[in-house]
Amino acid sequence: MDTVIPIYYQIKQKVKSWVINREYPAGGKLPSVQELSEKFKVNRLTVRQAITQLVQEGFLISKRGEGTFVTNDENLINRFSFEFRGFINDLLHQIPEVITQSVSIHTIRASNSIRKRLELSPSQVEVTQIKRTRLLKDRLFTFTINYLPTEIGLRIKEKDLYAKRMLKILEEDLGIEFTDAVQTIEATFADTEVAENLGINSGFPVLFVERIMFAKKHKPIELYQSFFRGDLYKFIVHFKNIKGKEGSKWIHRN
């Protein structure tokens, strides 16, 4: 388990991923709280907190004496699917016009914050830091910083970063199989470095995205941080109106 992100939240997201990926179908029964506590190696109260939140959100249904079940509402599952995956796909992967302008790769001493996020061992004092600026329609669009354990980062070639996305290099070239990710998105202001790399004034509003990518056994592999120019980025979602017995519902259309 990640030491920075609350354990109950990690379990909550993992259960969501099981349902969204149809490991447990609509109406399917989940393992008991005891079984989940043994699986995740945490106490039952922590598991119960995660399950209770999902029940409150309508994603799961608790039946006294029977157990916990996935909702039968496919529309609701689709909505959660968008929440869970939407920004990874739509925000970062489906912008084909983005072109990498500059790349720099350095080995640096890891800060305490980076060490915690990547769960580095005491002997791992350095990480690979990769900085990139990218263009959208010939205008500076995003400034990205990636942090990777050196045994992985040193295998990445600068020339490849001009031609491929980082995720594609890690998955296809280095053979890393990612299982899940935790991503946060917030509005912030550009500091001096971000401003210089985006061609804006210090203090200019930007969209900040941070993501930790996990491989098997919930091993953190990559810490991704990206700053997007607020005046150039537009996030567009296509929704579809589904009419049913209980009225209309708007869901994200894939």
Q: With beta carbons less than 8 A apart as the criterion, state whether 183 and 209 touch.
A: yes
Give Cβ neighbours of residue 184 (< 8 Å, ≥ 6 apart): 209, 210, 211
What are the C-alpha distances in Å from 171 to residues 31, 150, 154, 182? 31, 17, 15, 17
pTM: 0.61
Alpha carbons within 13 angstroms on the beta-carbon side of residue 93 total 8
Q: What is the mean pLDDT of residues 5-22?
A: 81
Torsion of CA 62, 63, 67, 68, to 10 degrees: -30
Q: Which CATH number fits domain 7-72: 1.10.10.10, 3.40.50.12780, 3.40.50.720, 3.90.1150.10?
A: 1.10.10.10
141 pLDDT more than 70? yes
CATH number of 92-229: 3.40.1410.10
Confidence at residue 82, expressed as pLDDT on a 0 to 100 scale: 46
Of the candidates 27, 206, 226, the residue with the CA atom closest to the CA atom of residue 144: 226
- Which pLDDT band, with edges at 50, 70 and 90, does 216 fall under? confident
Domain ranges of the chain: 7-72, 92-229
pLDDT one-digit tens code per residue, 107-140: 999 999 999 999 999 999 999 999 999 987 778 8
Q: Which amino acid does the sequence have at 253?
A: R
